[in-house]
Homo-oligomer: A and B are copies of this chain.
Amino acid sequence: MRLKKYTDYALRVLIYTGSSDKKVSIKEISETFFISTEHIRKVVHQLSVNDYIQTTRGRNGGIRLAKKPEDINIGDVVRLMENDFYLVECFNEGENQCVITPACKLRGLLGKAMHAFFDVLHQYTLSDLLANKEELQTLMGIEIEQP
């Protein structure tokens, strides 16, 4: 049972961006997490298209959250990044060949389990993941803004 790598990366991009008091760059996220800039770029694009982050170009450009951390629901982000939920073959109606599909109770049961999974994730927002922001900043080597 795994989530996609891009889901993992998207959550890290949001944690990194939300932990910084300044705009951040693809390069620094990539270097912090040892993930290729190409992967981070794709994830940043998807998060940007879906209004989770804002990217601006140029000298003073960079990435920042497009909304407050408390308005970024973790369940929604995971649902967005996991673009299929084919737990077993019959969830993929286009390719399903399983002969017992019309009578099988497994699909309903797995669907119920998946809902329970997301029900938990929907209870949390990015602000819950940033509750210990200073500790995260230290681990990620993010410069702390002096008051």
Contacts and interface: CB of A to CB of B under 8 A. Distances in A.
Interface string A97-131: 11110111110011011101111110010001101
Given A1-B87, A7-B88, A8-B89, A140 B15 contact: no
State the number of copies, please: 2
Contact of A116 (B85, B88, B98, B120): B120
Interface residues of A, number: 49
Contact of A87 (B2, B15, B104, B113): B2
Given A113-B117, A131-B105, A2 B84 contact: yes
Contact of A99 (B33, B114, B124, B132): B33
A15 B105 CA distance: 10
A99 B118 CA distance: 26
A88 B98 CA distance: 30
A14 to B, nearest CB: 10
A71 to B, nearest CB: 17
Interface of A: 1-4, 7-8, 11-12, 15, 32-34, 74, 82, 84-89, 97-100, 102-106, 109-110, 112-114, 116-121, 124, 128-129, 131-132, 135-136, 139-140
Given A1-B114, A106-B129, 6 more contacts: A3-B88, A32-B99, A99-B140, A102-B139, A103-B136, A112-B120
